[in-house]
Amino acid sequence: MTRRTVRALQVVAGAAAAAMLIAACGSSSKPNAQQTTIGPITGTAASSVVPWAASGQAADTTVTVCFFSGPEFDTIQKHGTDFTALTGGKIKIKMVSIPIAQALPVTINQLKTSSECDLVDGASEHATDLNPYLLPLGSMMSDPALLNSSVYNLSDFPKGVLDVATSAKGLMSLPFSADVQMIFYRADLMSQWGITVPKPPESWTWQQFEAALQTMQAKIKESNLDMSPIAITGSRDASASMFSLTSMWAFGGNPFNGDQPNFTDKKAIEGLNHWSGLLNTLKLASPGSPTYAYNELLTALQQGKVPMIAEWNAAVTDLNDPTKSPITAGKLGFALLPYDESLPANTPRVFPTTHTLGISAKSAHPREAFEFAAWYTSPEVALQLASERSSGARTSALTDPATLAKNPALGTVAAAGALYHPLPNIPSFGDLLNNVIAPSVNSLFTGQKTPDQAAADMQSGAEALLKKAGK
């Protein structure tokens, strides 16, 4: 080996060692996971809803909850210990984490092949795929030994929330979280520009909404601001698909005819036309909209690049936090998504995204699992969850005066929840959102396709998907 070869090898080895060292240093720091700070719930109201569990008569059992990693997982884990205390230590809750990106396949696999999971997340977009493997809850819901139905008060859930948890076999899971899409706006700027935004449950018609955005554009121009009137999402993901469906529903469109795709419906195309028209025709939306996902919409508002966004309620906490969002904190107003002027104001147009607890049909402890699910979705726990997060599945929790005083956005969340549109009973609905609707919406927003072409693509894509799914 020549000296030059040795030197060359030394160079490579030295560089590689330095690279590994730097990489190791880089990977040693990790941000802290978000902490939830919810207090214990073991009071009388909490115990009265599940009399059998609270009586301490259950045998020593461990109920396993399989859930995707995230804040919902942390909260269930936290309250699992409260529930165990309530049962006199008899029913323990064990959490099994599932990677969020593989939530559906892993959950289905668990439900199909083992009895390890007693409870799983019956998320709305996966409900059709999961329901065949869940235990119908009807008999347990009507058993007074297991559930005090008057305290539980099923009618406290908005109809749209219960609809997504129900199949032909009846109620399949119990909801504890329901998210909505809504309009976030800078109330300070609206007041400065003389624009009045209707307070929920009132809302703009689509035509009033467009007119207001045009006024905003004129004011922005007058003030010579580096701003667009609104940022919306047209990115290639499931969230953009959900928003595009809301626009179709807002115009009375029917993109699903029963269990069949029907994207070429005229009203649905009209909705798509108006939604993408905010960017392509009226030039009111930020040109970044075709690439903006949840976090980028948030950032655009946080950095004062837009005075209005159409976004998920989950953003409320960050946008109202003065340390994270000094420009928007305390200055935000919240409104409902608009609807076409030819339709009634209560036109269902919000995409229901719920998280529920469903019992595995193979569960060895269905009664214990039911008691935990019922307790976790009871009015008292719902109130506690709503006070900590800007979300909730129960109307009583979202409209509670004390909670509303603390978080006024919850009023809009409740009003939007009342506008949930039913979801179709289509298999692989998550795939439809991600891989059929999302690319078409993105093509529409980037000007590659017209609304008619995008709708035709959605239709043919959905038909191909159903064929691929074996239907």
Partner 1 sequence: MVATTGHSPSALGLKPGRRRGYLVDRRATLLFSFPAAALLLVLIAYPLLDDVRLSLAHISPSTNESFVGVQNYEAVLSSSEFWNSVWITARYTLLSLVIELALGFGLALLMTRIVRGGGTLRTLILIPTMLTPSVAAINFRNLLNYDFGMVNWFVGLFGIAKQPWLADSGYALAALVLTDIWRSTPFFVLVLSAGLLALSPEVMDAAELDGARGWQKFVYMQVPMLMPLILVTVLFRVIDLFRTFDTVYALTNGGPGNSTAVTSMQIYNDMYVGQYTSYAATEAVVFMALTLVVSLFVLRLMRSQPD
What is the binding site for partner 1 (CB under 8 A)? 2, 4-5, 7-9, 11-12, 14-15, 18-19, 22-23, 26, 101-102, 104-105, 108, 129, 228, 231, 235-237, 286-288, 290-291, 293, 296, 299-300, 303, 305-306, 427-428, 430-431, 434-435, 439-440, 442-443, 445-446, 448-449, 465, 468-471
CB closer to partner 1 out of 14 and 39: 14
CB closer to partner 1 out of 268 and 438: 438
What gap in Å lies between CA 447 and CA 106, rounded to an integer? 37
94: enclosing H helix or E strand? strand 91-98
Supply the minimum distance, in Å, between the C-beta of residue 48 and partner 1: 40
CB closer to partner 1 out of 22 and 45: 22
What gap in Å lies between CA 91 and CA 273, rounded to an integer? 53
Instruction: Kindly state the tokens that stand for 391.
Output: 């979300």
Sequence-distant (6+) residues with CB within 8 A of 380 are 41, 43, 45, 46, 49
CB closer to partner 1 out of 51 and 427: 427
Supply the minimum distance, in Å, between the C-beta of residue 297 and partner 1: 10
Supply the minimum distance, in Å, between the C-beta of residue 180 and partner 1: 23
The one-letter code for the residue type at 288 is G
Supply the minimum distance, in Å, between the C-beta of residue 170 and partner 1: 22
CB closer to partner 1 out of 379 and 430: 430
- Among residues 176, 325, 307, which one has the least CA distance to residue 229? 307
What gap in Å lies between CA 161 and CA 419, rounded to an integer? 10
Supply the minimum distance, in Å, between the C-beta of residue 19 and partner 1: 5
Instruction: Kindly state the tokens that stand for 255.
Output: 């993109």
309: enclosing H helix or E strand? strand 308-312
CB closer to partner 1 out of 293 and 329: 293
Supply the minimum distance, in Å, between the C-beta of residue 160 and partner 1: 24
Instruction: Kindly state the tokens that stand for 83.
Output: 């529930």
CB closer to partner 1 out of 3 and 60: 3
Edge-to-edge order in the sheet of strand 353-359: 91-98, 61-68, 119-121, 353-359, 173-179
What gap in Å lies between CA 360 and CA 110, rounded to an integer? 9
- CB–CB of 415/336 below 8 Å? yes
Q: Length of the chain in residues, anyone?
A: 471
- CB–CB of 385/72 below 8 Å? no
What gap in Å lies between CA 144 and CA 44, rounded to an integer? 17
Q: State in Å, rounded, how far the first CA of the chain is from the last one.
A: 65
CB closer to partner 1 out of 13 and 218: 13
- Among residues 194, 289, 208, which one has the least CA distance to residue 250? 208
Supply the minimum distance, in Å, between the C-beta of residue 305 and partner 1: 4
Supply the minimum distance, in Å, between the C-beta of residue 236 and partner 1: 4
Supply the minimum distance, in Å, between the C-beta of residue 36 and partner 1: 26
What gap in Å lies between CA 164 and CA 123, rounded to an integer? 9
- Among residues 152, 274, 160, which one has the least CA distance to residue 208? 274
Supply the minimum distance, in Å, between the C-beta of residue 122 and partner 1: 15
CB closer to partner 1 out of 335 and 426: 426
> Any idea which residue has 């795939």 for tokens?
431
CB closer to partner 1 out of 348 and 424: 424
